Amino acid sequence: RPGETVALVGATGSGKTTLAALVPRLADVTSGRVTVDGVDVRELRLADLRSVVGCAFDDPLLSSLTVRENVTLGAPEATDEAVWEALRVAGAADFVAALGPDGLAVRIGEQGMSLSGGQRQRIALARAIVGQPALLVLDDPLSALDLHTEAEVEQALRRVLRRSTALVVAHRPNTARMADRVVLLEDGRITAQGTHRELLTSSAAYRALMAVEPRPAGDTPDEVVVR
C-alpha cells in the first residue's frame, strides 16, 4: 500500500531476492504481473520505472568512478548537499570524508574493491535514497555491517522509509521491526503475514528464522528470548 514498508522474510531459496528483483525489472515474471500504482511494470519505459524505484542489494555493483558519480548514477541532478545527506543516512559520511579533502571526488576503484563490503553497501544505499524515490527495494543491504553500525543506519533509515513505499528483504529482527507488515515466504509462496510481533506469536517458522522463541506461559506473548 502507498507509504507502507513491507519486509520479506524467508529461508534461503524461498524467493525473496527474485520477488524483489521483479519490481525494478531486473527480472521479469513468467506468469501473472507486477504492478506499480496499478500499471504493469512491463508497460513502462525502464528509465521511467527506475526513476521512481530506488534499489540497494546485499552485493552491490559499484563502478570505477568517484564517490559522487557512484551515488548519483540514478539522480545526476542531485546536489552535493543531497549527496552528503544520503551518505549520512547510509552511515557512510564519516568514511567518505576521511578518503581525502574532497571525499566525493575520490575515485573508488573498479567495482569498489578498494572499499570494504560494508562500505560498498553503504555507498549503494546512499545511491538508492539520494533521489528520494517513491518506491524503495532493499535486498538485505546492510548484511555486511556489524550490529552496532547496522542499528545506527537503521535508525536513520526509518526517516527515509516514512516518506517512501518500501519492500525490504529482512534477515534480522531489527530490520523486520521497521516494517509495517512482514510477509513470510516459503518455497516461493506467502504462507503468513502480519506485524513482527504478530508473527512471533503465530508462526513457528517465523520464530525459527528470527532465531527467537516464545517466553514461558504467563509472560507477555510478544516478548522473545534471543538464543
Structure confidence at residue 100 as a pLDDT band (50, 70, 90): confident
* All residues at 6 or more sequence positions from 224 whose CB lies less than 8 Å from its CB, including other chains: 173, 200, 207, 210, 212, 213, 214, 215
Angle at 26 between CA 181 and CA 14, to 5 degrees: 50
Checking if the pLDDT of 225 tops 80, the result is: no
pTM of the model: 0.82
pLDDT at 196: 95
Tens of pLDDT, residues 82-98: 999 999 999 999 999 99
pLDDT mean across residues, the chain: 86
Q: What is the dihedral angle through the alpha carbons of 113, 118, 123, 129, rounded to the nearest 10 degrees?
A: 150
Q: Is the pLDDT reported for residue 115 higher than 90?
A: no
| Interatomic CA distance for residues 1 and 135, integer angstroms | 11
Which range has the worst mean pLDDT, 54-58, 76-80, 108-112, 203-207? 108-112
User: How far is CA 216 from its chain centroid?
Assistant: 34
Q: Is the pLDDT of residue 215 over 90?
A: no
Domains in the chain, ordered, with CATH?
Answer: 5-226 (3.40.50.300)
